[in-house]
Chain A
Amino acid sequence: MKDVLLKKELFDGFVEALMNSYKVAAPTRRGDKSFAFDFITNPSEVCLDHIPTILPPKKYFLPQHETLLEYDTTEGQNMQAFVEIEPMVILGVHSCDIAGIQCLNHVFMDRPKDYHYQARHDKILLIGYECLRKCDQYASCGLMQTHTPTGGYDIFMTDMGDHYYFSINTFAGKGMVQLFEGFEPADTVAEKTLKKLRSDKKKLFKNETDVSLAEIPSIFEWGFDSHVWDRTAEKCLSCGNCTNVCPTCYCFDVNDEPELNLAKGRRVRVWDSCQNETFAIIAGGENFRPKRAQRTRHRFFRKFKYPVMRYGKFFCTGCGRCSRQCMASINLKETISNLKRSWGEI
């Protein structure tokens, strides 16, 4: 599809046009170095140049607290499953978060499909925003190769000085562009600039670690018994922050929430974390991951080994949120480096 350009001063007009047709979520400023995706009421709230937000946009695909069905037990076990969602646009999604959504798509849209997820997925449009420089020292998108998108968006925006370049990937993306009249077709000069910009980016987004992507599978092949997990667990507080902010963590719990009359209520799913001590407990009280080291290790293996076996891809997008939010300063890059170095040590 033919790409388009938009003058920067017209960007607010485009956002307003989007807001007339959709609910628009965008990164907004919460503090000095803290941003969050939120529904906006004014284009001025949009903060395109953000470091990864506190929570990734997975919260719109898999909400923290999502009703699966409503029940009514006044006359037997009656229920109705449903999804409540408005058509919406998420604006300004970094390529790491797009990669995260692609991972979740794989998990939730494989058979047996999760139709709650699918319904949300079908109503959400994505407008990505290209990172032209590293956000901070926590990110590892250079290692994970997620700094340039590989699909997964409707439109992808790139800053080109006085213009934004809009790469249009879907018909829905074209539809959004048609809502606003200020676009110009992208000429060959702009296309060339984009190409140059992307090739320059490769020099800027270098691997942040001494580990290469290609050797990660072998590191995690033998790394299960490494002492690194005990060292990491000595710091870990099992708070579950890392799993909450991770764009590819999707574990959940299913609970019933009765109303005060006890006859009616909702069955909901809420985010859960494999870092919680009770996560792998069964009815008799047996816990299959009682030790903190087992749980920290489980999380790392759920990013770098198990999904590779199951879905054929890494479930780390290099966004750096887990390291940024960790109260105990456990750093993902350091942990992987240490794991590599621990080869042969006891």
Chain B
Amino acid sequence: MRIPLKKSGYEIIKAEVVKITPMTATEKLYEIRLKNGENLDHDPGQFVEVSIFGAGEAPISVCSSPTNQDTFELCIRKVGRMTSVLHNLKVGDEIGIRGPFGVGFPVNLLKGRDMIFIAGGLGIAPLRSLINYVLDERRDFGKVDILLGCKTPDKMLFGSEVAVWAERMDVNFCCTVDKSDPEWKGNVGLITTLIPGVNFNPDNTFAVVCGPPEMYIYVIQELLKKGMPESRIYVSLERHMKCGMGRCGHCQIHQYYCCMDGPVFPYDKVKDLEGAI
């Protein structure tokens, strides 16, 4: 007996690649529109499962703000089999989307507060959804600091957008590279070197951190040194979510499933869990 299912959770929504912007040698930005005419309706920080039948699925964080309703964007680094297939996509190609999944950044809790964004490398992708949300709703937030780090200047993501952030009067922007090249005129050094230079009021500031696994511990140490409470540091963690519904086990961090309870966690919730950060 064959029982057809309509809402099993594994159905994809068809979507179309509207625009592809190459950013670096390994990263491309994809603008996607759902073909069912609906908007994705995501929170900043949530992720989707991108599907191409025959190749599989990959969890990718949405890097555009929900204030941008018609389409959404995904920043995809070519690292494995599935992302290589995604990098071969052309404008107009059809893909499948499941989601959005997970718990994003608590935007309503953040309103009325000062914000510090700290992003390393590809960590800018999930953070950009929140940064652009905050900039679009700029009146609702206090002081905004953005600290950005990457390995070398040619690996800088969202270059033109970052240039705009740097110009804005209502944003304090700071950027560093681990290794400079002859044309680079900015800071050189790890992202942690930028934190002592930021002035913030620990009583009214939220910090949001996203980057490669080894970055968190050092960045968070610097923040704690300056009096930031643990409960007001938010991190977005990377795991390989296969189902997105809290079952397959691949993204499990102790009692939490990263796909359901995360990927965004307040630091105090995960700090004692070995292997979380």
Q: Which residues of A contact B (CB under 8 A)?
A: 68-69, 71, 73, 76-77, 79-87, 107-108, 112-116, 119, 123, 224, 250-256, 258, 262, 265, 267, 269, 272, 274, 279-284, 286, 288-289, 294, 298, 301-302, 305-306, 309-310
Total contacts A-B at CB 8 Å: 141
Q: Is the CB of B7 within 8 A of A115?
A: yes
In the complex, A281→B240 CA distance in Å? Answer: 7
Give the contacts of B70-88 with A (CB-CB under 8 A). 77, 79-80, 83
Q: Is the CB of B5 within 8 A of A84?
A: no
In the complex, A282→B2 CA distance in Å? Answer: 35
Q: Is the CB of A267 within 8 A of B53?
A: yes
In the complex, A253→B240 CA distance in Å? Answer: 11
B57 at the binding interface (Cβ < 8 Å): yes
Q: Is the CB of A69 within 8 A of B255?
A: no
Distance between A109 CB and nearest chain B CB, rounded to angstroms: 11
What sequence of 0s and 1s flags, for each residue 119-140 of chain B, a beta carbon within 8 Å of any chain A beta carbon?
0000000000000000000000
13 extra A-B contacts, CB within 8 A, seeds A114-B245, A258-B54, A306-B254? A107-B247, A115-B7, A116-B5, A224-B274, A251-B247, A252-B247, A254-B242, A256-B55, A267-B53, A280-B240, A280-B252, A289-B275, A309-B255
In the complex, A84→B243 CA distance in Å? Answer: 20
Nearest residue, chain B, Cβ from A286: B213
Among B10-18, B158-166, B181-189, the one that faces the other chain is B10-18
Q: Is the CB of B11 within 8 A of A81?
A: yes
Contact of A310 among B3, B5, B11, B255 (CB under 8 A): B255
19 contacts between A and B (CB under 8 A): A73-B54, A77-B51, A77-B94, A79-B11, A82-B2, A114-B247, A115-B8, A119-B3, A251-B248, A252-B247, A252-B249, A253-B248, A256-B54, A265-B54, A272-B249, A282-B239, A283-B80, A288-B239, A310-B255
Q: Is the CB of B79 within 8 A of A284?
A: yes
Q: Is the CB of A279 within 8 A of B5?
A: no
Nearest residue, chain B, Cβ from A116: B8
B6 at the binding interface (Cβ < 8 Å): yes
Q: Which residues of B contact A85 (CB under 8 A)?
A: 1, 3
Distance between B252 CB and nearest chain A CB, rounded to angstroms: 8
What sequence of 0s and 1s flags, for each residue 225-242 of chain B, a beta carbon within 8 Å of any chain A beta carbon?
000000000000011101
Interface size class of chain B, counting residues whose CB lies under 8 Å from the partner chain: 35 or more
Given A114-B247, A294-B275, also A71-B53 (CB < 8 A): yes
Q: Which residues of B contact A254 (CB under 8 A)?
A: 10, 56-57, 242-243, 248
Contact of A76 among B14, B51, B240, B253 (CB under 8 A): B14
B270 at the binding interface (Cβ < 8 Å): no
Contact of B247 among A80, A87, A108, A301 (CB under 8 A): A108
Give the contacts of B35-87 with A (CB-CB under 8 A). 51-58, 77, 79-80, 83
B250 at the binding interface (Cβ < 8 Å): yes
Rank and list the top 4 A-B pairs by shortest CB-CB distance, nearest first: A251-B249, A71-B53, A115-B8, A81-B5
Interface of B is mostly: loop
Q: Is the CB of A265 within 8 A of B53?
A: yes
Q: Which residues of A contact B52 (CB under 8 A)?
A: 77
Q: Which residues of B contact A269 (CB under 8 A)?
A: 243, 248
Nearest residue, chain A, Cβ from B261: A310
Q: Which residues of B contact A113 (CB under 8 A)?
A: 9
In the complex, A192→B6 CA distance in Å? Answer: 49
Nearest residue, chain B, Cβ from A253: B242
Residue among B77, B252, B274 facing the most chain A CB atoms (10 A cut-off): B252
Distance between B265 CB and nearest chain A CB, rounded to angstroms: 14
Q: Which residues of B contact A (CB under 8 A)?
A: 1-12, 14, 51-58, 77, 79-80, 83, 94-96, 212-213, 238-240, 242-243, 245-250, 252-255, 274-275
Q: Which residues of B contact A86 (CB under 8 A)?
A: 1
In the complex, A302→B247 CA distance in Å? Answer: 12
In the complex, A83→B95 CA distance in Å? Answer: 24
Q: Is the CB of A68 within 8 A of B14?
A: no
Distance between B96 CB and nearest chain A CB, rounded to angstroms: 5
Distance between B164 CB and nearest chain A CB, rounded to angstroms: 28
Distance between A84 CB and nearest chain B CB, rounded to angstroms: 5
Contact of B8 among A68, A250, A251, A252 (CB under 8 A): A68
Q: Is the CB of A274 within 8 A of B80?
A: no
Q: Is the CB of B242 within 8 A of A82?
A: no
Q: Is the CB of A250 within 8 A of B95?
A: no
Q: Is the CB of A81 within 8 A of B10?
A: yes
In the complex, A148→B167 CA distance in Å? Answer: 71
Q: Is the CB of A77 within 8 A of B249?
A: no
Q: Which residues of B contact A286 (CB under 8 A)?
A: 212-213, 238
Distance between A113 CB and nearest chain B CB, rounded to angstroms: 8
Q: Which residues of A contact B1 (CB under 8 A)?
A: 84-87, 123
Residue among B8, B243, B254 facing the most chain A CB atoms (10 A cut-off): B8
Distance between B52 CB and nearest chain A CB, rounded to angstroms: 7
In the complex, A83→B5 CA distance in Å? Answer: 7
Q: Which residues of B contact A274 (CB under 8 A)?
A: 249, 252
Q: Which residues of B contact A294 (CB under 8 A)?
A: 275
Nearest residue, chain A, Cβ from B53: A71
Q: Is the CB of B250 within 8 A of A280?
A: yes
Residue among B240, B250, B254 facing the most chain A CB atoms (10 A cut-off): B250
Q: Is the CB of A283 within 8 A of B83?
A: yes
Residue among A107, A280, A289, A298 facing the most chain B CB atoms (10 A cut-off): A280
Nearest residue, chain B, Cβ from A307: B255
Q: Which residues of A contact B249 (CB under 8 A)?
A: 250-252, 272, 274, 279
Q: Which residues of A contact B240 (CB under 8 A)?
A: 280-283
Q: Which residues of B contact A262 (CB under 8 A)?
A: 54
Distance between A73 CB and nearest chain B CB, rounded to angstroms: 5
